[in-house]
């Protein structure tokens, strides 16, 4: 009898888990919802979903067949994939299924529905620290990107704030890398975001980071100048230290960071990092160079 109850309970749990992870339909018009998230083993997962990527036929695309257009303009997938996607309706024109020989016309809306499995992030909350009429300040946890990018759409600070607090639209004033935690300030309207942008460009806003590094960091303030070369396609940056001359030219943009040791236990050091410039991945790369 007990075995029967255990088997029934196990089957019930499996059925509930299947319902939790069932595929949902998602388009830009449908924001992330609280029920889209599943928490398991300390991580925040997103239910698999289909997402609609939208584009419009421009002058260069006009007159091409739908398959030729995708095969020539979006080379990340094979021609056979696009033929299959058109036949099963994952690629549509103006909301309608079309044959693989369909010739597109100017300004038509093309929808490409892709099956998405977002990587999980840590299940820490995005804590709202201050909610003002025009400004929102939150504590961003590590592992969560700020806004949709790459494989992430719902597992982002913006997606979580919209799903769990109904806070949207939001305009991030600055960005923290996915693996970085800290204060994140966002405007609630374009006008306030523009004011912050002007302050940042005028040098009226200063950023400070605290990093834990391996080893005993020098006691005196360290100033590191380097060139940061950011590769947007790969999402990576490299740093070069030196002086350009007639034979060699440093890649990227000039960057300067100040480092001050806060404390050390002889194995690790806590360091205050103050970027004078604002280049992507600047603080982490400068730490390595130091």
The SS3 assignment for 4 reads helix
Question: Among residues 239, 232, 128, 237, which one has the least CA distance to residue 185?
Answer: 128
Separation between Cα atoms, residue 99 and residue 114, nearest integer Å: 19
Question: Among residues 140, 119, 120, which one has the least CA distance to residue 128?
Answer: 140
Q: Annotated catalytic, 4? A: no
Per the residue annotation, which of 177, 219, 229, 247 is the catalytic one? Answer: 177
Count the alpha carbons within 13 Å of 188 in the hemisphere toward its beta carbon.
Answer: 14
Measured in degrees and rounded to the nearest 5, phi and psi for residue 143 equal 90, -10
CB atoms within 10 A of CB 100: 15
Separation between Cα atoms, residue 242 and residue 228, nearest integer Å: 12
Cα→Cα distances 268→55, 198, 214, 259, Å: 50, 38, 5, 15
Kind plus residue range of the DSSP H or E element containing 9: helix 2-20
* Letter string b/e over residues 214-228, b meaning 16 or more CB atoms within 10 A of that residue's CB: eeebeeeebebebbb
Q: Catalytic positions, please? A: 177
């Amino acid at each position: 009898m007990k075995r029967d109850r255990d088997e029934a309970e196990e089957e019930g749990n499996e059925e509930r888990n299947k319902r939790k992870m069932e595929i949902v339909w998602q388009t830009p018009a449908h924001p992330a919802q609280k029920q889209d998230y599943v928490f398991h083993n300390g991580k925040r997962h997103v239910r698999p979903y289909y997402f609609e990527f939208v584009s419009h036929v421009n002058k260069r695309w006009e007159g091409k067949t739908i398959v030729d257009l995708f095969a020539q303009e979006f080379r990340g997938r094979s021609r056979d994939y696009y033929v299959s996607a058109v036949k099963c309706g994952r690629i549509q024109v103006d909301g309608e299924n079309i044959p693989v020989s369909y010739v597109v016309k100017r300004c038509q809306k093309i929808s490409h529905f892709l099956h998405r499995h977002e990587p999980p992030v840590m299940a820490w909350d995005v804590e709202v620290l201050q909610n003002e009429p025009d400004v929102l300040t939150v504590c961003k946890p590590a592992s969560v990107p700020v806004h949709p990018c790459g494989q992430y759409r719902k597992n982002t600070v913006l997606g979580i704030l919209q799903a769990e607090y109904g806070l949207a639209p939001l305009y991030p004033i600055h960005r923290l890398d996915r693996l970085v935690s800290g204060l994140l300030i966002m405007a609630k309207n374009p006008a306030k975001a523009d004011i912050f942008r002007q302050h940042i460009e005028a040098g009226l806003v200063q950023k400070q980071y605290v990093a834990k590094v391996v080893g005993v960091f020098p006691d005196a303030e360290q100033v590191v100048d380097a060139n940061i070369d950011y590769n947007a396609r790969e999402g990576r940056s490299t740093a070069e230290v030196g002086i350009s001359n007639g034979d060699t030219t440093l890649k990227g943009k000039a960057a300067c960071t100040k480092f001050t040791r806060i404390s050390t236990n002889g194995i690790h050091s806590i360091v205050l990092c103050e970027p004078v410039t604002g280049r992507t991945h600047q603080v982490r790369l400068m730490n390595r160079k130091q």
